[in-house]
Structure 1
Amino acid sequence: MKIGSRLIQFSICHPKIVTTLMVLITLALGSLLVKVHVDTDPENMLPEDEAVRVYHNLVKKEFSLYDVVVLGVVNDKDPDGVFNPDTLGHVQELSEFAKTLQDPNDPEKRVVASEMIAPGDVDTIEQAGPGQVRFQWLMAKAPASREEALKIRDSAMGNPLLNGTLVSEDGKAIAIYIPITTKDFAHQVRNELLKKISAFKGDDQFFITGLPVAEDTFGKEMFVQMAISAPLAMVAIFLLMLLFFRKLSLIISPMIVAMVSVIATMGLLIGTGNTLHIMSSMIPIFLMPIAVVDSIHILSEFFDKYQTIKDRRRTIEHVMDQLFMPMLYTSLTSAAGFASLALTPIPPVQAFGIFVAFGIMLAWLVTIVFTPAYVMLLKEESLANFGAAIQMTGPSKKSWLAAFLARLARFTYQQAKLIIIVTVVTLLVSLYGIHKIQINDNPVKWFTKNHPIRVADKVLNSHFGGTYEAYLVLEAKEEALSPAQTAAMLKEKLAALPVAQSLPSLLNQAIQIVDESSKTAADSDQLLNVVENKWLIRQDASADADYESWSEFMDTLAVVKNRGQIFKNPEMLRYVARLQEDMNRSQVVGKSNSVTDVVKKVHQELFAGKTDYYRVPDSVNAVAQCLISFQNSHKPDFLWHFVTPDYTKANIWVQLKNGDNQGMEKVVAEVNKFMSANPPPFTIEHKWAGLTYLNVVWQDKMVTGMLEAFSSSFVVVLVMMIILFRSLLWGLLAMVPLSVTIALIYGIIGFIGKDYDMPVAVLSSLTLGLAVDFAIHFLERTRMVYRKTHSWSAAIKEMFEEPARAISKNVIVIAVGFTPLLAAPLMPYKTVGVFLASIMAASGLATMIILPALITLLQKYLFKNEQRQTN
């Protein structure tokens, strides 16, 4: 402790210099806060070069996809639902208004008007005569009569592409899909839409949701909540310390330590070029309880000893001598717990862990340097009425806490075996609960159940196919063929035609042309072009009876020619349809759309709209005709959302009814199962993209990364405990409260069905720091007291005086101090509040009940060295 002793003595001798330096350094680091750059995009939880993120952005670019704000209009009072002139008028007005939205400070942040999906921006597909289709706007203008409104309803519901996506099947709701250039514009779009909606009257209800809205709004509200909750928590902690120590001038010290630690840490975070992310915004919430813990230990010891020593310098020297090593090791273990997060593959979590670890060690340094200096700045006479001796002058004056701890000491000593039996049973039950834990998260569930976004999510997902989006991309992986291989494939397909049996001579003519052409063709494309030209000549010169047979040959040639363009092939399109049907049977997927749906709808209208023709046509050429017909629509580029222009990649737009990780993972598993059981007709590769899938990846990486980091830090802390106590047995003993707390807390999580999500995962690091803190203080003081008393029965009585009071006060101050978080409108803040209280209570009780019981049973092994020295 030589270095520590010198630091403390310097602080005691030069309190003004220490205080001035601390203020200057804090101001210097605090000044860096003005450089703050806020980033609320959860996508940045993954590195920019992460494979799934790179692919997600590639898919968005290839298929011209954008993040979407979903605006839903519901009318369940009108007998015609939303299909009445007033409601459709509101829908039209909102659609046109949304197209104009743009960030005045950044023109790149805007609504992509050309890609909007709204009644006035989509086509109806209708029959326009034999072999022809007509495209016209679903709602070119708001209807003036009920008849016009109902006609719009019938047209929308008759189009499978729109039914369940744009309009609800019950006719009670319409959705407007508003694409935006960047996700961080979503909250602004929502606010502008709400302003516009506030002027409307009538029975219409308006709901705004979508993952971009949820994520961006959460980010904005989280920073507002941080500015409210953190100060409220500090006020609560301040009042509780005032209740315990009754000296305003002294309890200001822990407040200063906490503020200096938070300001300096956040300033350094911003100053080193880090963005203020959702994770890093929670640094103050995590840092404050840890920063205050050591100060409460010092105050509690100072409170007990001052009236006995009656000299502030000698008292603070005694206190710091007693607590220096325990505080150092508790800070190191807490810092190790958070620093282990640097091992996770999530950059914001890495920054969070590193800077919380820095803040913890800074708080320790400020505590041991500034607290003695602060005490020396107080006048001796101001402490005349301070201390335990003043408040407890006799047995009748004994506080309720002291009386409770005295009874607890007797109980732990006398009922040690019972305590251990109950602990073992509790651990076994907790382990069962841990096995029931479900790893799951959903950004929309970060809001409380009555939050407008969560309400909107529930309402709209009950009406539509789903407001959560994922993209299943299928890509052709057919190998290039030589002219000889292509010729062989073509001949094989020709031989399989019915005409091969009925007109073998005609087939031989076709095959002869293939064989001759393959000898001189430089590549497969040249071969097929030459064959096509020669067959056309033969077809034109053929008799009427043979003409249809040559047409069949031409269709077969088209199949081979478009072999790489598999998403023109009827077999492949039917396979996609079966895959969609399988997904749609899932309870998670509400609807899916693909190029197959476009082809089937156009094909139906080419045949007078008959339902029997709502299917994939039988030939490549017929599919091509459907696709060409669609190109005559008002939005021909809409097709490229589902297929690339070379028809080698297809995108299935999957609408999910919830954004839970488990739901998305279930869909992924079902698709894998279907494709394994039903091999596609062509060699393809399938991959996922979309925000819902991206969230699954980063949340899974974060949770598993934190579990691995916690495991490694647990081992590191165990080694530190063994080194601190210079004993394997004492080191293992120090880990008991942590192990019991972790098992109990996470066992309860499993039993109550609480998802193991982002906040819960992060709190595991806090558990490690706080639980070990109490154990170190208790065990280190136990060894000190035993050396003095030479008897555990005597030592336990003293241990349940000042040391136990300090731990109890810490538990109460931190647990109760963070109850303001329970009133927050954001679930992660509520989670932090509940878990902080639970962690403090569980670790405090484990330290003061289980450890004394274990020491009672193991005392002859634990105190061997002390007994040997005594003898």
Structure 2
Amino acid sequence: MFRKSTALTLLGFGIFLSIMILVFPPVPSFNYDFEQFFPQDDPDLAFYQQYEKDFESDNDYLLIALQNPSGSLTSVDFLKKSDLLKKEISNLDGVDTLISILDLEMPVIGLFGISFNKVLDWESAENLEYSGPSLKQFEGSLISKDGQSLLFLIRNNPKLSKEQGDTLYHQIKEVFLQSELKPHAVAGKIQTQGDFVTLMQEEFSLFLGASLVLILVMLVLIFRTWWGVLVPVLVLSIGIFWAFSVILYSGKSLDIMSVMQPTIFLIVGLSALVHYFTHLIKNIRVGKVKEEAVYETFRELTFAVSLTIFTTAVGFFSLYFTSIPALKAFGLWTAIGILVLFFGLIVITPGLLYLFPIAKAKAFQKPASLFWQRLFSWIILKRKLVLYTFLGITLLSLFFGLQLKVNGFLLDNLPLDHPIQEDFAFFDEQFGGSNPLEIYLSTGDSANSLFDYAVLREIEKLETKLTESFGERQLISPVSLVKSLNQAQNRGNIAAYSFPSQGQFLRMSRYFDQILKLDGPKVISSNQKAGRISGRVGDLGSLEMGKKRAELLDFVKKEINPDLLRVRWTGTAFLIDHGHESVTRQMFQGLLFAFVVVGIVAGFLFRSWRLSFILLIPNVIPLVWMLGLMYLLGIEFKLTTSILFTVAFGIAVDDSIHFMTKLKTELDRGKNLLYAIKRTFMEAGRAILLTSAILVAGFALLSFSQFGVTHFTGLLISFTLIFALLADLFLLPLLLFPLKKVWDKKTESRSKD
């Protein structure tokens, strides 16, 4: 396959394929849909999807805080300008409703039935002064706690696509550009996903360019020849071009996880090319002609390199076993991209090498053999120290790792100083929160309606507990409707916004049907047997929210009568928190899959289950050390960090496979085990060190990303690869020595046969 004629034919095919892609190019699209991080096997997701149909989405909103830049919030001029803004935004396509204090009306029950009075009347300064005290009731909901901001709660159409959401957000910004008033803070889905995509596009281009620069620098340092730089650059560029073409032809949009793919493809491909090129230069230095050197290089190394590519792809593909669509897609398409890249490398590289004059190449000056001899001797002499050191660090890391908690935040992927973080923090502090809180309510067997007085009493107890857990905040629920009617019966007196007595309740019951027909958030079903408690809370993190949810459900179990009321958590924030927990659990399934695949590969390669087991040890240890590192750096388990264990294993195992395939080559030449280990350490050690340096440098580049998932990928995998290098060089040879007796018996048995 790698003879000159075949290689040139394959090169021609590769050029033709590239031209066809250029003629019929795929169209790239960027997308960020955080709902792709919901665990799909979670029964709570199916429940929420039905809940969303019955009531409404809890996440299709945009919060905008307005402040008067020249004075008080209760300024006639400011309120008129704000009202004009409200009307313009309300008329935009895609806006479902806009809730604000400006047009809020409260019911008042009089002699002639129910009527509605505006909370805020700014027709005159006198009217405004009169309505001022009523604003106190809405501080922390539609008015900020400090009384300096009013809120626009814009509910957009839940069926908006990403592009339609971007258009709506752009139109809202245009409205503000034409106004004297500017938003003090903005938070919501259509804003966040738009800013995420913008940042993602910037980082995608940045890291693609930075990765190319890094490769150029490394190639110049390693090979110091024009062809040693040009050929890898051409091969990797075409290979990545093919990989992304396959991804885009499938209809897959580039998302937040795609930011890492250019760097991953480049460094994995470069690592493979370095193995080929160093071996090629070695063959040329011993006097082989170019054609023979190229042929033997690819014939001898392709099996070992393909194994490392395969195990790397397996590491990413193991993410497919999670229940998170975004991670499944990332794992699947990164694995496919790596395989496509390797296909491009095999198709293009031999032909290019045959075309270029490489006979006079200057070889990279490898470290002196004396260094590797001394290092090997030191490892043998200090083997107890080495073994005890690895054991001690591993046990300590395992102990620290068991202290780690699962804790994720909604905006984990954004830097702490990003404007979106600051705006969300503002809403958490001044408006009770930016995260939706949703609790589903349904009647028990002994209740006819959520408007039964006894049921409402149970809901009131539940809301009191919520206030204890999350602090005072505005909640909408069947109880809030009843409290509003009680206030209406008392001529709008703020003090009457409270749970009614039975007599008050009986008087207001005739208005229930009328109040339910009003526009606004739906809090109860048409048959009055199902409803919701809805509000907003701050982003406390999945760990703290998990404790509060457990505490509330324990309260429900002990204090709420299930024959009257049944309670269930739901909502998008709840599902995201489940995503953090489920991925952490599923990480072990992915690791088990990767372990089994690598074990089978090693068993097939060496026909020995002992060697398969030994191969896994120096690759499990770095993962345990990564646990210890996470503890020391204060990094918790979450969706963005749990996935790294399987990815790191798939990449780190490459060096072990190179070591073991070289060992097998030495053993097949009839050398005894101890000498074969020494020769393998001397020769494979150099290549392992070089490829590890490339991988570490490439992944370290990702640690400069502003995205949390990309930053942690770069940081933790870089350290894990260093740990794997230490394990392969210092521990693996010592683990192989005890097999000498077993190997000698096998050799003796083969000799007799």
Shift of 1:688: 3.5
Partner of 2:714: 833
Distance 1:766 1:692, change over 3 A: same
Shift of 1:461: 0.5
Distance 1:129 1:78, change over 3 A: farther
Which consecutive unaligned segments of at least 5 residues does structure 1 have?
A: 1-6, 103-109, 393-397, 480-562
Question: Does structure 1 residue 468 correspond to structure 2 residue 435?
Answer: yes
SS in 2 for 1:585: helix
CA distance in 2, matches of 1:230, 1:828: 17
Question: Does structure 1 residue 430 correspond to structure 2 residue 408?
Answer: no
Question: Does structure 1 residue 18 correspond to structure 2 residue 10?
Answer: yes
CA contact (8 A) 1:593 1:652 kept: yes
CA distance in 2, matches of 1:183, 1:139: 35
Q: TM-score, normalised by structure 2?
A: 0.89
CA distance in 2, matches of 1:183, 1:752: 39
CA distance in 2, matches of 1:863, 1:42: 58
Question: Does structure 1 residue 227 correspond to structure 2 residue 205?
Answer: yes
CA distance in 1, matches of 2:380, 2:548: 56
Partner of 1:485: none
Moved more, 674-683 or 773-782: 674-683
CA distance in 2, matches of 1:31, 1:431: 54
CA distance in 1, matches of 2:19, 2:323: 33
Shift of 1:714: 1.3
Shift of 1:406: 5.3
Shift of 1:16: 2.7
Distance 1:334 1:825, change over 3 A: closer
Partner of 1:510: none
CA distance in 2, matches of 1:414, 1:174: 74
Deviations along 1:443-470, one digit per CA (max 9) or x if unpaired, are: 3121101111111111220112111113
Partner of 1:559: none
Question: Does structure 1 residue 120 correspond to structure 2 residue 78?
Answer: no
Distance 1:139 1:249, change over 3 A: farther
Deviations along 1:402-435, one digit per CA (max 9) or x if unpaired, are: 7765553333232121111111111111112221
- After TM superposition, the structure 1 = structure 2 runs for residues 146-545 of structure 1, keeping only pairs within 5 Å, are 151=130, 153-158=132-137, 162-181=138-157, 182=160, 184=162, 185-194=164-173, 196-197=175-176, 206-279=184-257, 282-380=260-358, 383-388=359-364, 391=365, 405=372, 407-478=374-445
Deviations along 1:323-349, one digit per CA (max 9) or x if unpaired, are: 233213222322333333333334443
Shift of 1:612: 6.0
SS in 2 for 1:446: coil
Deviations along 1:692-731, one digit per CA (max 9) or x if unpaired, are: 1232344444443343122222122112212212222221
CA distance in 1, matches of 2:371, 2:82: 66
SS in 1 for 2:408: coil
**Of residues 5, 8, 13 in structure 1, which corresponds to 2:2?**
8
Partner of 1:616: 500
Deviations along 1:365-397, one digit per CA (max 9) or x if unpaired, are: 3334432222111114xx414214xx47xxxxx
Shift of 1:574: 1.8
- After TM superposition, the structure 1 = structure 2 runs for residues 830-869 of structure 1, keeping only pairs within 5 Å, are 830-856=711-737, 859-861=740-742, 865=746
Shift of 1:73: 3.3
Shift of 1:137: 2.7
Partner of 1:715: 596
SS in 2 for 1:437: coil
CA distance in 1, matches of 2:153, 2:629: 41
Partner of 2:458: 575
Partner of 2:87: 96
Which one-letter code corresponds to 1:295 in the other structure? L
CA distance in 1, matches of 2:510, 2:529: 18
Deviations along 1:173-227, one digit per CA (max 9) or x if unpaired, are: 322211111373555444444455567779x861111355334532443244223
Question: Does structure 1 residue 755 correspond to structure 2 residue 636?
Answer: yes
- After TM superposition, the structure 1 = structure 2 runs for residues 62-73 of structure 1, keeping only pairs within 5 Å, are 62-65=54-57, 67-73=60-66
CA distance in 1, matches of 2:350, 2:494: 89
Distance 1:646 1:786, change over 3 A: closer
CA distance in 1, matches of 2:472, 2:607: 58
CA distance in 1, matches of 2:404, 2:33: 27
Partner of 2:95: 111
Shift of 1:239: 1.4
Q: TM-score, normalised by structure 1?
A: 0.78
CA distance in 1, matches of 2:19, 2:579: 36
Distance 1:335 1:816, change over 3 A: closer
Moved more, 778-787 or 40-49: 40-49
Partner of 2:536: 655
CA contact (8 A) 1:471 1:653 kept: yes
SS in 2 for 1:810: helix
Which one-letter code corresponds to 1:766 in the other structure? V
Distance 1:797 1:718, change over 3 A: closer
CA distance in 1, matches of 2:644, 2:536: 33
- After TM superposition, the structure 1 = structure 2 runs for residues 542-691 of structure 1, keeping only pairs within 5 Å, are 563-564=447-448, 566-587=449-470, 591-608=474-491, 609=493, 611=495, 614-618=498-502, 621-625=506-510, 627=512, 630=515, 636-638=518-520, 641-658=522-539, 660-680=541-561, 682-691=563-572
CA distance in 1, matches of 2:693, 2:213: 14
Which one-letter code corresponds to 1:384 in the other structure? K
SS in 1 for 2:417: coil
Distance 1:101 1:727, change over 3 A: same
SS in 2 for 1:643: coil
SS in 1 for 2:139: coil
CA contact (8 A) 1:98 1:111 kept: yes
CA distance in 1, matches of 2:180, 2:743: 77
Which one-letter code corresponds to 2:243 in the other structure? T
CA distance in 1, matches of 2:737, 2:661: 16
CA contact (8 A) 1:247 1:386 kept: yes
Shift of 1:870: 9.2
CA contact (8 A) 2:38 2:576 kept: no
Which one-letter code corresponds to 1:121 in the other structure? D
CA distance in 1, matches of 2:71, 2:211: 51
Partner of 1:136: 117
Distance 1:72 1:303, change over 3 A: farther
SS in 2 for 1:73: strand
Question: Does structure 1 residue 34 correspond to structure 2 residue 26?
Answer: yes
Which one-letter code corresponds to 1:725 in the other structure? F
Deviations along 1:708-757, one digit per CA (max 9) or x if unpaired, are: 12222212211221221222222122112210111111332234331323
Which one-letter code corresponds to 2:561 in the other structure? P
Distance 1:24 1:700, change over 3 A: farther
Distance 1:94 1:743, change over 3 A: farther
CA distance in 1, matches of 2:303, 2:737: 24
CA distance in 2, matches of 1:590, 1:139: 20
- Aligned residues, how many? 746
- The structure number with the bigger radius of gyration is 1
Shift of 1:88: 4.1
CA RMSD in angstroms, aligned pairs only: 3.5
CA distance in 1, matches of 2:23, 2:103: 50
CA distance in 1, matches of 2:91, 2:372: 67
CA distance in 2, matches of 1:120, 1:219: 33
Moved more, 413-422 or 211-220: 211-220
CA distance in 2, matches of 1:853, 1:588: 59
Distance 1:86 1:781, change over 3 A: farther
CA contact (8 A) 1:30 1:267 kept: no
Shift of 1:677: 0.4
CA contact (8 A) 2:39 2:575 kept: no
